[in-house]
Structure 1
Amino acid sequence: MDTRLSSLQAQPFLAALAMVGAGASFALVNGALQASTMRLGVPSTSAAFWQYALGLGFALPWVLRRGRTALKTQQLGLHLLRAFLAVIGIQLWVAGLARVEIWQAIALVMTSPFFVILGARIFLGEQVGWVRWFATIAGFSGGMVILEPWSQAFNWSALLPVAAAAFWAGTSLVTKKLTQREAADSITLYLLLLLTPVNAALAFADGGLVVSGPALFLLVGAGLLTVLANYLLTLAYQKADAAFVQPFDHLKLPLNIAVGFIAFGFAPTGAFWPGALVIVGASLLVMLDEQRRGNAAAKTA
């Protein structure tokens, strides 16, 4: 009994650790992608292809070791839908990193939870409530402050991370559905298997797939870290409720800022800080509302 209790108590700690690890891995991935595209001139479609193709290559030994059990699923349709949403989000995100400084891109993509709320209401018929509507409006307002569309410095390319956030919100909804019946490693594997051929076709249409020199080494690292990050992210959602792990996900903001500053000397402008603060605050408000709902449901049960 004591062993079982200790195991249950360890679950939230492991979930938090997995979420922080995923955030750190994604920050390094973003730095590698921005260096290879913005600095070394690799087309964003080619960078996206190599990131996930190499990720699949790193995952193959583990796939071969597990055999057919790694591909066992009863939800192929959901895997296909997840891959469709993810590939569009990935292409938009990498294209954004090729044009937008990393601190702005990561702050804008943090509007994804508010797209999740909209998606859950529109497509799943979930009740949202005034707290989440308020948080959603506040979160998008924070994004507007960072974008500054009313200023002469506004760049339309900055909308690419926002569009990526919308498609990744759809991916998150499908992922949460899949984790109810699928293992974390199988979900990660299916994503890599389905993304690779689509990314290859897009890269070929954009001028080819050949990458060499320092860019290749950066993308090899991005591929390895992508596998690790996706696995840790899925593991975090399996070990604890989304409401618990969400605050740890916000650590990706300072982690990405640190990577951008150390690697490229990118420093956020004044408009970034109030906008980012509003986005993070709105996300925490959603988390608190989720906890309140969970407690209310438990008392009712």
Structure 2
Amino acid sequence: MTSPMPAARAPLSGAVFMILAGVAFAGVNTLEQVATTRLGMPAPTAAFLQYSVALLAVLPWALRRGLPSLRTRRPWLQAARVFLAALGVQAWVAGLAHGVPIGQAVALVMTSPFVVTIGAGLFLGERVSAERWLAVTVGFAGGLVILDPFSESFSAASLYPLAAAILWAGVSLIQKRLLAEDRPEAVAAWLLLMLAPVNFVMALPAGIVLPDVHGWLVIVAVGVLTALAQGFLTLAYARADAAYVQPFDHVKLPLNVLAGWLVFGWLPPSGLWLGAALIVGASMFLLWRESRPAAA
């Protein structure tokens, strides 16, 4: 009889890799904000260089494994997905560049699954139950609490992370459509190979501003951490079911709040924790609701 221990360890390692991804993303967000707010790097340039370094970091590994076929039945849909992903990156980095606190930005981008739920009903023909609508309503209420649009501290820059959440939700919706016809390897390869060039084109209107030595050190660190974070995410989903590891993704919120406090001295207001609790609670309910058929 085989021992049950390896099967028991696999979910645990998946959770560890998801937490490591959260740590890496906290480093990415903090250093990205250092590059744009303290070192004066334009947001479009920072986004382009970040994903260029990330591409260079993972390319040797990809070449050793053999690049998957880029053959796709819907090239324009693949291109649209990459374009939306690049726009989301630009919006996210612009928010950090305008001084949106890291913890607040992360909490707002966590509303993306609720946008996916709405989009799945509108564009993919999926049935959105009353329970899903309840989760979406509570999640967006949490985002509204965090934004606090009627307070004196509200600024239009706070909408950048929300725009990134909407754009990345579009990426997820297109990906669901593509995976019905294309191989997962092809879908991943398109994003890997095209994100840096598309960000380069988007950075051209503002001009590419090459950083100084300190800027390069920060950008290289951001790019390497981006590659590591994506690698940890891949390992997390490979080692355990998504329903198991997804709750550990929420650890990124306190990690980013901690990083923002240590580096920028930003202390989150009570409204952020209330809004984050609504978002996390709604997403956990949505995850539980979606996992019930699989469990049955």
Scaled by the length of structure 2, the TM-score of the pair is 0.90
**1:220 corresponds to which residue?**
220
Matched position secondary structure for 2:150:
coil
Matched, 1:117 2:113: no
Matched position secondary structure for 1:128:
coil
Deviations 1:80-99 (A, max 9, x none): 34312211110100001111
Query: What is the number of equivalent residue pairs in this alignment?
Result: 292
CA contact (8 A) 2:42 2:209 kept: no
Aligned-pair distance for 1:7? 4.9
**1:182 corresponds to which residue?**
184
Aligned-pair distance for 1:35? 0.5
Matches within 5 A, 1:239-254: 239-254=239-254
| Structure 1 pair 124–236 and aligned structure 2 pair: CA distance change class (3 A) | farther
| Structure 1 pair 80–256 and aligned structure 2 pair: CA distance change class (3 A) | same
Deviations 1:15-50 (A, max 9, x none): 322221211111110001000011211110000000
**2:103 corresponds to which residue?**
103
Matches within 5 A, 1:143-158: 143-158=143-158
- Distance of 1:292 and 1:97 partners within structure 2: 37
Q: Which stretch shows the higher mean deviation, 89-98 or 210-219?
A: 210-219
Deviations 1:110-157 (A, max 9, x none): 111111111221122112211111111011011111111111221011
- Distance of 1:128 and 1:219 partners within structure 2: 42
**1:265 corresponds to which residue?**
265
| Structure 1 pair 291–65 and aligned structure 2 pair: CA distance change class (3 A) | closer
**1:87 corresponds to which residue?**
86
Aligned-pair distance for 1:236? 2.9
Aligned-pair distance for 1:169? 1.6
**1:46 corresponds to which residue?**
45
- Distance of 2:85 and 2:247 partners within structure 1: 23
Q: Which stretch shows the higher mean deviation, 8-17 or 89-98?
A: 8-17
Matched position secondary structure for 1:271:
helix
- Unaligned runs of 5+ residues in structure 2 are none
- Distance of 1:94 and 1:255 partners within structure 2: 18
**1:26 corresponds to which residue?**
25
| Structure 1 pair 233–75 and aligned structure 2 pair: CA distance change class (3 A) | farther
CA contact (8 A) 1:188 1:230 kept: no
Deviations 1:223-271 (A, max 9, x none): 0111111222233334444322221110010110111111111110122
Q: Which stretch shows the higher mean deviation, 197-206 or 167-176?
A: 167-176
- Distance of 1:112 and 1:267 partners within structure 2: 24
Deviations 1:165-198 (A, max 9, x none): 0111222344566678424xx6554323101111
Q: Which stretch shows the higher mean deviation, 56-65 or 83-92?
A: 56-65
Aligned-pair distance for 1:288? 1.5
Matched position secondary structure for 1:199:
helix
Matched position secondary structure for 1:245:
helix
**1:208 corresponds to which residue?**
208
CA contact (8 A) 1:111 1:140 kept: yes
**1:36 corresponds to which residue?**
35
Deviations 1:266-286 (A, max 9, x none): 110122121111111111111
Aligned-pair distance for 1:14? 3.1
